Amino acid sequence: DAGVTQSPTHLIKTRGQQVTLRCSPKSGHDTVSWYQQALGQGPQFIFQYYEEEERQRGNFPDRFSGHQFPNYSSELNVNALLLGDSALYLCASSLGPGATNEKLFFGSGTQLSVL
């Protein structure tokens, strides 16, 4: 039973570029949440996708956008990259958006470096 898988594992971009990160949820899960973990900080909630729609959003600018596909996989897009976007991006999946968060399973993350 595959857990949450994210790709790529590492990525280097330059300021102003755009990036797309991908996530496949754990088998049987239909909800995907994205978190940003900056160095020395805890993960910060970006947004959650369920039924191909963004349900809730954290305090992130519109440069951060996402998508969920019919197979429940998800993408996180970041436009006009800033140095401050350098972070570990974590994807988490669950069964249903209302699932208690102890049922949240995280992937290993994508480490994004913006130069």
Partner 1 sequence: DQQVKQNSPSLSVQEGRISILNCDYTNSMFDYFLWYKKYPAEGPTFLISISSIKDKNEDGRFTVFLNKSAKHLSLHIVPSQPGDSAVYFCAAHLYNTDKLIFGTGTRLQVFP
Q: Residue 8 or residue 16: which is nearer to partner 1 going by CB? A: 8
> Is residue 21 near partner 1 by the rule CB under 8 A?
no
Q: Does 92 bind partner 1 (CB under 8 A)?
A: yes
Other Cβ atoms closer than 10 A to 76: 25
Q: Which residue in the set 24, 48, 68, 74 belongs to the binding site for partner 1 (CB under 8 A)? A: 48
Q: How far is the CB of 58 from partner 1 (least distance, A)?
A: 6
User: CB neighbours of 73 closer than 8 A, spacing ≥ 6?
Assistant: 22, 23, 24, 25, 32
Pairing type for strands 105-106 and 5-7 reads: unpaired
Query: What part of residues 49-78 is at the interface with partner 1 (CB under 8 A)?
Result: 55-56, 58
Q: Which residues contact 62 (CB under 8 A, 6 or more apart)?
A: none
Q: Show Cβ contacts of residue 11 under 8 Å, excluding neighbours closer than 6 positions.
A: 19, 21, 110, 111, 112, 113
Cα separations (Å) of 10 from 20, 53, 86, 89? 12, 27, 11, 10
Smallest separation (angstroms) from partner 1 to the CB of 114: 20
Query: Rule CB under 8 A: which of 95-114 touch partner 1?
Result: 97-98, 100-109
Identified binder of partner 1 from the candidate list 44, 65, 79, 86, rule CB under 8 A? 44
Contact residues toward partner 1 (CB under 8 A) are: 4, 33, 35, 40-45, 48, 55-56, 58, 90, 92, 97-98, 100-109
